[in-house]
Amino acid sequence: MAAIMATTALSAAQAADKKLTISVYSFAQDEYKKALYDPFEEICGCELVVETGNSVERMAKIEANSANPVIDMAVISSHDALALARKDLVAPLDAAKLTNFDKLYESAKDPIGDHMAIGYTFYASSIVYRKDLVNIESWGDLLNNEKLAGNVALPNITGTQGPLTLMMLNKADGDNGDYAKTITKIGKSAEKIVTFYSRSSELAQLMNQEEVIAAPVGRFAWSRFKSSPLPFAWAEPKEGQAGGMNVMVMTKGNGNEELAYQFMDYWLSTEVQTRIAEALIDSPANKEVKVSDEVAENLTYGADVINSLSIMPAADIIDQRDKWVEQWNAEVIK
């Protein structure tokens, strides 16, 4: 009996010692706890330590502790993942250890190359506008439609939406990737722009206060506008919608790879991706996920939508970002 009790106590202690530290975006953490964290802890008999913060802070922590990682796994944008990969801070992922790998859309399987990351959610970006006051047919309307002069907001170039908006404005003008020319055009229109916003919550406040009637925004923030008493609409510009992807990475040499793979695989499962989608937390990268039309309306959902997105390669953002910011500060934020 004593031996059995000792064995039971040892097993409980071992379970308690199983700990996975993850670094994630700060939004919807209560919802994630219910849909993902708590169920995983029950399955693995382990403890999830969840760290949040903005991307700059979270990436800095990974880099500062590269010799002895304190983060096992992180979720970040694809271009931030590439930045970490170029600093040799993340490990290549073995798809054979992910039973749900083949269920992903093709673009999510190896989004930055060399299997250094795996996509877990997509997001479309378009223009939210007041349909009672203006009609949006093109991304170019943001700068060219006189009805929007003094009533439009654009994202700051350093934010998630900044490079995507730059790409689509460039596309509308047919400038074929000459982003310097597009930044100059934005600078010449700066006096007509209410603000260059940094957070979607900031934009939602401005639009609900009727200070702004049109602005680019990610689909993940659409619910903020859809629930408003004001008649907001989601534009379908002739150039299409921009798109982005958030990805999972594993820190190099963390020593906790087995548990990290287990968590990643669980997050990518049809069951969990469906639960997250139905809670309107994130859009699924698992192509087997099925949701109602009502839920899909709030997500970046389905092969037709995902395959139609204009996604800027992560390398383009990393390689040009410093140059964009320098020109932006000189010509736009004067």
Query: Using alpha carbons only, how large is the chain's radius of gyration in Å?
Result: 22
Whether residue 225 sits in one domain with residue 130: yes
What mean pLDDT comes out for the span 263-283? 97
What mean pLDDT comes out for the span 57-76? 96
What DSSP character marks residue 302? Answer: S
Question: What is the pTM for the complete model shown?
Answer: 0.84
Closest CA to 112 of 318, 313, 311, 307: 313
Whether residue 305 sits in one domain with residue 323: no
Closest CA to 250 of 237, 240, 263: 263
CB 309 within 8 A of CB 242: yes
Could you tell me the residue range of the domain that residue 163 belongs to?
123-243+313-331
- pLDDT of 282-324, one tens digit each? 999 999 999 999 999 889 999 999 999 999 999 999 999 999 9
Supply the pLDDT for residue 236: 94
Distance CA 299, CA 281 (A): 9
Which percentage of the chain shows pLDDT scores above 70?
95
**What mean pLDDT is reported for the chain?**
92
B/e letters for 295-311, b = 16+ CB within 10 Å, e = fewer, are bbebbbbbeebbeebeb
The better pLDDT of the pair 24, 221 is held by 24
Whether residue 178 sits in one domain with residue 168: yes
- pLDDT of 226-244, one tens digit each? 889 999 999 999 999 999 9
Q: Is 168 exposed, middle or buried, given 0-12, 13-18 or 19+ CB atoms closer than 10 A?
A: buried
Closest CA to 285 of 78, 35, 103, 25: 103
What DSSP character marks residue 112? Answer: T
Whether residue 327 sits in one domain with residue 202: yes
**What CATH number is attached to the domain comprising 109?**
3.40.190.10
What DSSP character marks residue 104? Answer: B
Packing angle of the helix pair 78-86, 314-331 (nearest 10 deg): 100
Whether residue 215 sits in one domain with residue 324: yes
CB 208 within 8 A of CB 228: yes
Supply the pLDDT for residue 9: 42
- pLDDT of 206-222, one tens digit each? 999 999 999 999 988 88
Question: What amino acid occupies position 110?
Answer: D
Whether residue 20 sits in one domain with residue 64: yes
H or E element in which residue 242 lies: strand 242-251
Number of domains in the chain: 2
Supply the pLDDT for residue 159: 84
Q: Residue 1: which pLDDT band, with cuts at 50, 70 and 90?
A: low
Whether residue 215 sits in one domain with residue 195: yes
Whether residue 257 sits in one domain with residue 180: no
| Angle in degrees, CA 312, 314, 319, rounded to 5 | 105
CB 153 within 8 A of CB 203: yes
Whether residue 80 sits in one domain with residue 180: no
Whether residue 159 sits in one domain with residue 103: no
Question: What amino acid occupies position 156?
Answer: N
Helices (H), the chain: 2-17, 29-32, 38-44, 55-64, 78-86, 106-109, 141-144, 161-173, 179-188, 200-208, 222-226, 257-268, 270-278, 293-296, 303-308, 314-331
Supply the pLDDT for residue 143: 96
Enter the tokens of residue 35: 């849909």
Whether residue 214 sits in one domain with residue 95: no
Whether residue 165 sits in one domain with residue 87: no
- pLDDT of 146-187, one tens digit each? 999 999 999 999 888 999 999 999 999 998 889 999 999 999
Mapped onto helix, strand or coil, the DSSP state of residue 2 is: helix
